[in-house]
Each structure stands twice: as C-alpha cells, then as structure tokens.
Amino acid sequence: MSRFMIYGANGYTARLIARAAVARGLKPLLAGRNREALDALAGELGLHRRLFALVGAKSIEGSLDDVELVLNCAGPFSATCKPLLEACLARGVHYLDITGEIDVFAWCHAQHARARERGVVVAPGVGFDVVPTDSLAALLKRRLPRADELVLAFEASGGISPGTARTGIEGLRAGGRIRLRGELTEVPLAWKVRSFERDGLPRTAVTVPWGDVYTAYVSTRIPNIETYMVLPPATIRRLRWLRWARPLLRLPAVEAFAKRRAGAASGPSAERRARSGCYVWGEARAADGSEAKLALRTPNGYALTVETALGIAAHVLAARPAGGYYTPSQLMGAEWVLSLPGVQLIEPARGAPGS
C-alpha cells in the first residue's frame, strides 16, 4: 500500500488498525498530538510518526507532505473532521474516517463538488459505523427498488472504547433523529421501542441517531429511515429520563465532566473482542405493502472496523476512484461486506427482523 497516515493513532481503535496494518506488511505513518503515546506506539511497531495538532490550516497542510490518504481515527469527529478534511482538500489527499456522527456525514457530503474537482475521495464512516448497515440498506434497495421506508437495527456486544463513549455524550446532547420524507427530523431520545427477532428470540430495541439516518438516504434515496439499537429495558428507561436532562448536557462544564468519566473506559480486551459479535437487521417497505428483510452477523464492531478501514483504504489507493463524497456501499459495492471474515448474510426465514 502507498504511504498513508493514521491520525489519532494513539486511540483505542487506531492502535488496533495500526497493529493489523503492520501484521499485513504495511507501513502507515502514525500521527496525532500526543508525543509520548505516539513515540511508544511507533517504537513498538517500527513505524514513523508525525506530531501535529489540528490547529492552523497551513500547519496541518504542511503535515500532509508525502501522504496520499489520511484515515482519521480521532473522535469526536465533530472537532477533528473539518480541519483535517480542509487540509486534505487543499493538498489533494484522500480522506477517510470512522465516524458515526450524523452532522459529520452531512458536512462531508456538502464538500462533494470540491472533492470531485480536486480528485479527492471523501469517505467518512469506514468502520462498524456505517459499513454493515449501509451495505444492508443498499442490498434491501436492490431487492425492493420502490421501497419508501427503511428500518435498520443492530445489537453490539463486547464493550466500548473511550472515544466511542465520548462521542456518545455528544449524541445524547443532540437528541434523537430520523429521516422523514427525505428530511432529517429531530425526535425525542428513545422515541420508539420495538422488538427484533434473533435466533427465534425477541430483542428489545430503541431508536438511536445512528449515522445511517444520513448515509442510507444518500445510498438508497429511501425517504423514511429509522435506526434502532438493542438495549436492556432499564437502559431504555434511563435514556427516556435523559430527555429532561439534555439542557444540562449542553452546559460546557457538565459535558466536559461527562466526557472525562467516559474517557475512563479502557475498551474491550482482545479476548472479549474475539468472543463477542454483532447482529444487524434491515427492513424495507413500499407503499403497496410489499417488503424485503435481511440481517447480518458480523464480528465484534472493533474487529470489523479494522477489516473495513484497511480494506477501503487499500481500495482507494489501488483503484483510484474519481474524487467526491462516497458512502461505503457506493465506494465498495453493496456486497463487499459479505467478503469479509466472519460476516454472514441471514435470509428472512432465519433471524429476520420481527414485528
């Protein structure tokens, strides 16, 4: 693979990606602002590192010398995407990240014309957020081209990383969102609760503002989209209580405290990642009552992110697609996810979403 940079390389997911890259004979350039952590990881893996913060446009641009592609792993991406992507557009460097943040997808999509003109591929969400769900949405659209409603849901086990937890704090502050008649629409936290069937058993899920509220519409043009996450009933009750606490989360001091607490998470161990996995449901419906249903089994979300991020980076550098904004299914094809280790497509007769 040509020279590519992992920014935020000292983070939990980035370290997994960097170690996997080296195991495959690749030599990514590690970058970020934490000198001590970068030096330790670069020394462990025998890689070069580049120290820079996302401050000052010219400084960031200069830090991209001899780089063809940046994989941004530094969340929350609401803070890191814009300055890094601006530098990538200025220098003609491809930009990928592992965000699941709706507003980040929207901002990246708004740069499509600039990216096309510069020949820069802009592909946010190349991890578990949102590769499997976006692929499932595209597969369902293929099966039911006239669909006007899309429901996506997922169940993830194994624990979360500090970065994911901090991003989740921002998501709670923003509230719930769906796609309604083609428009992003705010709804209350934990707006709807319903069940999905997995291996013959019901799983209780609640609406969450998952990235597909934005990306699945770009991929499929289905105008009405809801996204759900399987959670214990007690957690759903707490989410509904948080509707009243949202104004507090908008206070800088409260948000900072919550993020510090979230940063105490260590992320799942290798053993826990190996024995946990994810399940994704999808339903598409048309106005005439016809429907299509599919599901996916995948490895642990962090393990899958390693595969998808490295696979998409390799594809962009080798195939050199035309510049512009892409969702994962637009860039790789709807069925690409099925070629990854541990990913299995489940047809409706076995494990399809329930009502």
Over residues 205-262, the pLDDT tens digits come to 999 999 999 999 999 999 999 999 999 999 888 888 877 766 655 556 544 544 455 4
DSSP code at position 337: G
The CATH number of the domain holding residue 66 is: 3.40.50.720
Can you list the alpha helix ranges (DSSP code H) found in 183-232? 212-220
Q: How far is CA 337 from CA 44, 61, 155, 333, in A?
A: 31, 33, 17, 8
Asked whether residue 17 falls in the same domain as residue 123, the answer is yes
CATH value at residue 159: 3.30.360.10
Residue numbers of the domain that contains 97? 4-128+303-333
In terms of phi and psi (left: phi > 0; alpha: psi -120 to 50; beta: otherwise), the region of 290 is: beta
Domain assignment of residue 308, yes or no: yes
pLDDT digits (tens, 9 = 90+) for 156-210: 987 665 556 555 555 666 789 999 999 999 999 899 999 999 999 999 999 999 9
Sign of CA dihedral 225, 231, 236, 238: negative
Q: What span, in angstroms and rounded, lies between the C-alpha atoms of 224 and 237? A: 26
66 and 77 together in one domain? yes
User: Which amino acid is present at 223?
Assistant: P
Flag whether 355 is in a domain: no
- The predicted-structure confidence for 27-83, as pLDDT tens digits, reads as follows 999 999 999 999 999 999 999 999 999 999 999 999 999 999 999 999 999 999 999
